[in-house]
Amino acid sequence: MSSEHPQSPAAGRVFRLGEKEVHLTHLDRLYYPQAGLTKGHVVDYYLRVSPYLLPHLRGRPLTLERWPEGVEDG
């Protein structure tokens, strides 16, 4: 997996996964306000742990919950 690393978490990113591209935006949006962590911080964390985490998730059901207005408005 390759990515374009911006200078700040607020910038968007494009990830190439095989022939597909994933465009991430709003990386400055707060996901964990009390800790001051943004969507960009969460993306960076998952990029760092993915080589270790993904082999254990293979074949397991996962869910994704969207919070388009932020976690506090959900």
Domain ranges (residues) in the chain: 2-59
Pairing mode of beta strands 37-38, 30-32:
antiparallel
> pLDDT value at position 11?
67
Provide the pLDDT for residue 2.
47
pLDDT in tens, the chain (74 residues): 444 444 454 568 898 888 999 899 989 989 899 999 999 999 999 989 999 999 999 999 888 788 777 767 65
* Closest of 28, 23, 57, 48 to residue 40, by C-alpha: 28
* Residue from 16, 50, 15, 43 nearest 29 by CA: 43
Residue type for 55, please?
P
- Whether 50 and 58 have beta carbons less than 8 Å apart is answered as no
